[in-house]
């Protein structure tokens, strides 16, 4: 029920925004709007207000604004309220307004996500203790060692890894660099010259449990979110990334030993509310990855940004997604991509439902992404889409005279056929991926 309601609300909102763009632009240039529909026919309910009938239709995967004169049978270039009487630029303005509204929604929602707060690894809020040093990096050249704690960078306090990242990313190339470190109970100043790129240190990630998979080995053992993993079979755990390799090594050794040893659970020492105790955990084997799993993830915390930084990060994220979208389209055209990666209504509904259950931030993030994709998709030069209509108008502008009714009609028929075939394919693909297991 949550999935269905969330799907209808999100998609209905985005369709409304899209069609409202066409509606407002048409009204702005004086074109009569005969109908405004959320959903495709058949009509469910409708109400006439002035010259426009506002409709709610049965098929909730789209919508439309019916303009006087946009169909070939009611074109009247002599009527100033007719779509055909408007200039090519005015008609393009009406067509672009719908996708532009979707892009505007994405531009508003994505910064809102960062302002509300996004889930980020919990270690970003922990003391900046170094776990490893990559060879041939600036940190290695400066003599920084694993276990060092970064206290300040160029005199500015570094209270956590988030601050360290902000301070180092703001350093200009070839600038003086002074680190104050804490090592083995002593304060140690380190100086050098910052170049470019990463410093070369790997943060120590506290082995604190975030979430547990349902019916996982960790959950059945009694481990709960917030527990800190201290030891596994009496071997000290200092970093989250030490857990999985140790589990693999211990379990593989036990399996090779065979007998009762292979059946004994691992002894996991955890710390909870200042108290330490042991639990027995029997890892489950995942045949797909070929690994033994405990079924737990690292700790995540909500990271919020100031309004200015939220706008900067939100816009940057959208630009990245725009580039990724056109890269994927290029791969499809060149034959390197797969339509299996294109989600239809069923898969979109599923991810919307999952986002709604996760919280408002996830739902707003997904809404921004879908709105961005709708805006881009509708601007593609495919007949029957806004971009296809725009392409025909540009051809008409270049030609210097209107295109024939026969050509426009056939072009629209081809476009609708392509869109219908694509919709049927992605829906079929959704059914296979969501409800059936495809053979490997």
pLDDT digit string, tens, across residues 398-437: 988 887 878 888 887 887 787 777 777 766 666 666 555 4
Number of C-alpha atoms within 13 angstroms, CB side, residue 292?
21
Q: At what angle do helices 360-378 and 307-334 cross, to 10 degrees?
A: 50
Q: What is the pLDDT of residue 315?
A: 94
Q: What is the pLDDT of residue 327?
A: 85
Q: What is the pLDDT of residue 260?
A: 57
What's the rounded Cα separation, in Å, for the pair 4 and 9?
9
Burial of 152 by CB count in 10 Å (0-12 exposed, 13-18 middle, 19+ buried)?
A: middle
Asked if 211 contacts 255 with a C-beta cutoff of 8 angstroms, the reply is no
pTM: 0.73
Q: Which residues pair with 65 in a beta bridge?
A: 36
Domains in the chain, ordered, with CATH? 2-117+338-435 (no CATH), 123-203 (2.30.42.10), 209-297 (2.30.42.10)
What's the rounded Cα separation, in Å, for the pair 57 and 46?
8
Which ranges of the chain have pLDDT less than 50? 437-440
Number of C-alpha atoms within 13 angstroms, CB side, residue 236?
1
Tokens (6 digits) for 220: 């059945």
Is 19 catalytic? The answer is yes
Tokens (6 digits) for 111: 């910064």
Q: Which residues contact 155 (CB under 8 A, 6 or more apart)?
A: 178
**What is the β-pairing status of strands 149-153 and 156-157?**
antiparallel
What's the rounded Cα separation, in Å, for the pair 36 and 57?
10
Q: Which residues pair with 189 in a beta bridge?
A: 180
Residue 1 carries which DSSP code?
A: -
257-291 confidence digits (pLDDT tens): 665 555 678 999 999 999 999 999 999 988 888 89
The residue annotated as part of the active site, out of 19, 180, 269, 299, is 19
What's the rounded Cα separation, in Å, for the pair 362 and 406?
47
Q: What is the pLDDT of residue 254?
A: 76
Asked if 396 contacts 403 with a C-beta cutoff of 8 angstroms, the reply is yes
Q: What is the pLDDT of residue 430?
A: 62
| Alpha helical stretches, state H, 230-306 | 243-257, 259-263
Q: What is the pLDDT of residue 341?
A: 63
Asked if 33 contacts 66 with a C-beta cutoff of 8 angstroms, the reply is yes
Asked if 187 contacts 150 with a C-beta cutoff of 8 angstroms, the reply is no
What's the rounded Cα separation, in Å, for the pair 382 and 120?
39
Q: What is the pLDDT of residue 347?
A: 67
Q: What is the pLDDT of residue 340?
A: 62
Q: What is the pLDDT of residue 437?
A: 46
DSSP labels, 196-225: SS---EEE----BEEEE-TT-HHHHHT--T
């Amino acid at each position: 029920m949550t999935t269905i309601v969330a799907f209808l609300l999100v998609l209905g909102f985005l369709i409304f925004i899209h069609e409202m763009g066409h509606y407002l632009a048409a009204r702005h240039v004086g074109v009569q709007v005969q109908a405004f529909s959320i959903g495709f026919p058949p009509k469910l309910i409708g109400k006439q207000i002035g010259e426009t009938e506002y409709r709610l239709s049965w098929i909730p995967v789209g919508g439309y604004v019916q303009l006087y004169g946009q169909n070939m049978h009611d074109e009247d270039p002599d009527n100033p309220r007719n779509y055909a009487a408007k200039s090519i630029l005015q008609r393009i303005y009406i067509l672009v307004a719908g996708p532009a509204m979707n892009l505007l929604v994405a531009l508003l929602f994505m910064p809102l996500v960062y302002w509300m707060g996004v889930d980020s690894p919990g270690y970003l809020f922990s003391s900046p203790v170094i776990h490893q040093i990559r060879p041939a990096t600036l940190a290695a050249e400066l003599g920084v060692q694993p276990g060092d704690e970064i206290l300040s960078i160029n005199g500015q306090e570094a209270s956590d890894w988030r601050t360290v990242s902000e301070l180092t990313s703001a350093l200009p190339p070839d600038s003086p660099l002074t680190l104050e470190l804490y090592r083995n109970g002593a304060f140690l100043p380190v100086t050098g010259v910052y170049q470019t790129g990463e410093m070369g240190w790997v943060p120590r990630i506290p082995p604190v449990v975030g979430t547990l998979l349902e019916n996982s080995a960790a959950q059945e053992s009694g481990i709960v979110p917030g527990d800190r993993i201290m030891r596994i079979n009496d071997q000290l755990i200092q970093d989250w990334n030490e857990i999985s390799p140790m589990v693999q090594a211990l379990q593989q050794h036990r399996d090779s030993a065979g007998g009762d040893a292979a059946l004994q659970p691992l002894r996991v020492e955890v710390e909870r509310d200042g108290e330490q105790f042991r639990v027995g955990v029997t890892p489950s084997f995942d045949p797909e990855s070929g690994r033994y799993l405990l079924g737990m993830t690292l700790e995540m915390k909500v990271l919020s940004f100031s309004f200015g930084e939220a706008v900067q990060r939100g816009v940057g994220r959208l630009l990245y997604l725009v580039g990724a979208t056109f890269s994927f389209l290029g791969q499809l055209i060149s034959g390197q991509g797969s339509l299996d990666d294109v989600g239809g209504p069923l898969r979109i509904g599923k991810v919307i439902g999952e986002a709604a259950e996760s919280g408002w931030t996830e739902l707003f993030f997904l809404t921004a992404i879908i709105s961005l994709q709708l805006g881009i998709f509708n601007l593609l030069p495919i007949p029957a889409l806004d971009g296809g209509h725009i392409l025909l108008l540009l051809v008409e502008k270049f030609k210097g005279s209107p295109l024939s009714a026969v050509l426009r009609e056939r072009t629209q028929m081809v476009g609708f056929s392509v869109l219908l075939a694509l919709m049927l394919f992605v829906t079929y693909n959704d059914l296979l991926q969501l409800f059936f297991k495809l053979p490997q």
